[in-house]
Amino acid sequence: MSPGRETIGIGMVGHAFMGAVHSHAWRSVHRFFDPPLVPRLAVLGGRDETRARVAAARFGWEDVETDWRKLVARDDVGLVDVCTPGDSHAEIAIAALEAGKHVLCEKPLANSVAEAEAMAEAARRARELGVRAMVAFNYRRVPALAHARNLVAGGALGEIRHVRSVYLQDWLSDAQAPMTWRLRKESAGSGALGDLGAHIVDATQFVTGEVITGVSALTNTFVKQRPSENGGTDEVTVDDTALFLARLSGGAVASFEATRFALGRKNAMRLEINGSKASLAFDFEAMNELQWYEGTGTEAGFRRILVTEPQHPYVGAWWPPGHLLGYEHTFTHEVADLLDAIGSGTDPEPGFDDGLRVQRVLDAVERSAAAEAHWTSVEESK
């Protein structure tokens, strides 16, 4: 880090799982990268002051607020990091942008297309004043996936023909697993679709450079009631799994599956792309690798590319070749890119328009599933 670098005060709303990984990213980014602004962990927001202070002490935040509006209004906050459930994303992010604060918002961007449109419009207005907004699709920052995007953009795969993308977890397979906010539509917007499906939709569009134009979808809820906090049961109002076929703007066909009921799969986020010249495959459970096949049958199967060389995206800031990176590094890459964009006065990627594009796909999936898998154009949701 260069000496005398200007600081920027971070105000983060929320301190659970995402709050923990975002805190780690803000603490570590200037120790490995050289951002134009050095983040200062100014204030952590949480509804319960006692819990918030415990989290602040643990994660390295200087102060706490129990009202996010006060956090946004503070003079020592220049960037607001939104790590709350989806039902509050729009209100917090729009207020922060209107107050002239840069915004990082967790995915999915919102719980509805209408909310996402309002957020994207607020970001466009703020951009004219030099205020930046980014949505936190952290898998874009996996070096192997960023390398895959470069390979596709460089024409190494040729014409994209097939895409297969899945995100498999199993943490809800037990019917007695307790109710959480992620299982309530009013707080989460959707279930596996928004929680996991949003990631593979964005990753597919990011790596291929194409957008999803239409879908045919099925969703299902396997466990319709779960134990509640008060000892009774609560109704599950979101999907447990979502499956859909899609067509991409370049003509390729694709399949997607998102579920939290795949026993034995802990965080299997996978993407395979077949082109006219070559194929690539990625599995987050082997996140430092790409599988690569080039040719028309003269080679015997895929070969392994270990994406740990200094020339690979992000890797040069870390360890010697062959020393592996992990999940937490993707968030450090994310905030490094955001700070670079703010410092250079450019638009970070993915911006709120990208988040809106994903939201429109999720909306088309829900509408298609409600209509017995009727083919549904993504453009219809504009």
Q: At what angle do helices 49-59 and 17-32 cross, to 10 degrees?
A: 30
Which residues span the domain enclosing 73? Answer: 7-138
Residues 110 and 149 in one domain: no
Asked whether residue 363 is domain-assigned, the answer is yes
Q: What DSSP line would sit under 4-50, residue for residue? A: TPPEEEEEEE--SHHHHHHHHHHHHHHHHS--SSEEEEEEEE-SSHH
- What CATH number does residue 47 fall under? 3.40.50.720
Distance of CA 275 to the CA centre of its chain: 25
Q: Say how far apart CA 284 and CA 269 lie, in whole Å.
A: 5
Whether residue 223 is contained in a domain is answered as: yes
Q: Is residue 376 part of a domain?
A: no
Q: Specify whether 122 is located in the same domain as 200.
A: no
Per-residue DSSP letter, 261? -
Q: CA gyration radius for the chain?
A: 21
Q: Are residues 173 and 124 in the same domain?
A: no
Q: Domain boundary at 84, 104, 138, which? A: 138
Give the residue carrying structure tokens 């309530």: 184
Domain-located, residue 1: no
Domain co-membership, 12 together with 60: yes
The DSSP line for 93-108 is HHHHHHTT-EEEEESS
Tokens of 221: 């809820």
The DSSP secondary-structure symbol of 238 reads: S
- Are 334 and 33 in contact by the 8 Å Cβ rule? The answer is no
Assess whether 161 and 124 both reside in one domain.
Answer: no
pLDDT truncated to tens, each residue of the chain (382 aa)?
Answer: 455 689 999 999 999 999 999 999 999 999 999 999 999 999 999 999 999 999 999 999 999 999 999 999 999 999 999 999 999 999 999 999 999 999 999 999 999 999 999 999 999 999 999 999 999 999 999 999 999 999 999 999 999 999 999 999 999 999 999 999 999 999 999 999 999 999 999 999 999 999 999 999 999 999 999 999 888 999 999 999 999 999 999 999 999 999 999 999 999 999 999 999 999 999 999 999 999 999 766 667 899 999 999 999 999 999 999 999 999 999 999 999 999 999 999 999 999 999 999 999 999 999 999 999 999 999 754 4
- Among 138, 166, 196, give the residue marking a domain's end: 138
CA distance 21 to 37: 20
Do 19 and 133 share a domain, yes or no?
yes
Are residues 134 and 236 both part of a single domain? no
Domain boundary among 138, 173, 189: 138
- Domain total of the chain: 2
Same domain, 127 and 146: no
6 by Cβ neighbours in 10 Å (0-12 / 13-18 / 19+) ranks as: exposed
The three-state secondary structure class of 92 is: helix
44 and 125, same domain (yes or no) = yes
54 and 191 part of one domain = no
Note whether 95 and 67 are within 8 A (CB).
no
Q: How far apart are CA 136 and CA 115, in angstroms?
A: 17
The Cα 20–Cα 362 span in angstroms is 27
Determine, yes or no, domain membership for 377.
Answer: no
Q: Could you tell me if 337 and 209 lie in one domain?
A: yes
pTM of the entire predicted model: 0.95
Q: What is the CATH number of the domain that holds 242?
A: 3.30.360.10
